[in-house]
């Protein structure tokens, strides 16, 4: 059957339209394909800031006398720390905490008959915040010398911090991005497809744990302060278009 001119034009238009629709569908299908990977970056680092705290107490029936004794201890502690090489600007004393103590009286049958005042307990706290970690560590171990001076001093374990966390986080994000790209390229190559443009990226949890401590990761992000040597890690979820 011989087609007329108009019929040939219509047939050609149908073929062209079908071809365009097929390519459009194929492009749409391919454009919705994505490769999703998670990049990881870790870095070991050493803390550059130490915070060490200690508390001291005085007891007495008279508040004024107990307070004077506590302030005398504070002056003695300050002089001791300065003699060990800690600058006065790194030493901060808290306000005095005052607590009243009571005991309960009992009769012969073991029934409470009332309470009586047994004295005041006054407490103070000193905080040393410094860059010289080794110095403060040594002082925190030697501070029992204050007991020989009649001062009831309780030393806590130091906390360790890092003052350049923002720089560290940016560096880790760059490395996590590179790691994610390499993972995506490997998947694309093994799948026989190309790797297209970046579609979406979102930062995961930023963690700081003690180095070689087998410390558990936290869903909300852990922040270790007890270890001087630490490990920082970050994850980055990245989605690429398939090409």
Query: What does DSSP assign to residue 9?
Result: H
Which pLDDT score, from 0 to 100, does residue 2 have?
52
Least trusted range by pLDDT, from 7-21, 30-44, 54-68, 76-90: 7-21
Please give the share of the chain, as a percent, with pLDDT higher than 70.
Answer: 85
| Residue 147 reports pLDDT greater than 70 | yes
Say how many CA atoms lie within 13 Å of 196 toward its Cβ. Answer: 16
Which pLDDT score, from 0 to 100, does residue 29 have?
43
Residues 242 and 220: their CA atoms lie apart, in Å, by 32
Per-residue pLDDT band for 218 (boundaries 50, 70, 90) equals low
Q: What is the pTM of this model?
A: 0.78
Mean pLDDT score, 161-186 = 94
| Residue 18 reports pLDDT greater than 70 | no
CB 101 within 8 A of CB 121: yes
Mean pLDDT score, 198-227 = 85
CB 21 within 8 A of CB 135: no
């Amino acid at each position: 059957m011989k087609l007329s001119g108009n019929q040939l034009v219509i047939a050609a238009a149908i073929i062209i339209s079908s071809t365009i629709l097929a390519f459009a569908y194929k492009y749409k299908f391919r454009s919705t394909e994505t490769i999703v990977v998670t990049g990881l970056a870790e870095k070991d680092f050493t803390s550059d800031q130490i915070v060490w705290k200690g508390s001291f107490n005085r007891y007495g029936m008279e508040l004024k006398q107990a307070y004077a004794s506590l302030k005398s201890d504070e002056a003695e502690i300050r002089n001791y720390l300065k003699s060990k090489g800690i600058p006065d600007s790194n030493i901060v004393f808290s306000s005095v905490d005052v607590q009243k103590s009571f005991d309960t009286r009992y009769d012969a049958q073991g029934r409470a008959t009332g309470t009586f005042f047994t004295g005041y307990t006054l407490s103070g706290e000193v905080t040393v915040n410094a860059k010289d970690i080794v110095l403060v560590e040594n002082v925190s171990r030697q501070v029992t010398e204050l007991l020989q001076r009649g001062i009831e001093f309780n030393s806590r374990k130091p906390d360790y911090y890092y003052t350049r966390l923002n720089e560290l986080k940016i560096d880790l994000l760059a490395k996590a991005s590179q790691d994610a790209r390499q993972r995506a390229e490997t998947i694309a190559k093994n799948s026989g497809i190309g790797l297209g443009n970046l579609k979406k990226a979102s930062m995961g949890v930023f963690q700081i744990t003690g180095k070689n401590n087998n410390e558990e990761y936290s869903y909300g992000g852990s922040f270790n302060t007890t270890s001087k040597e630490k490990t920082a890690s970050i994850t980055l979820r990245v989605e690429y278009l398939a090409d």
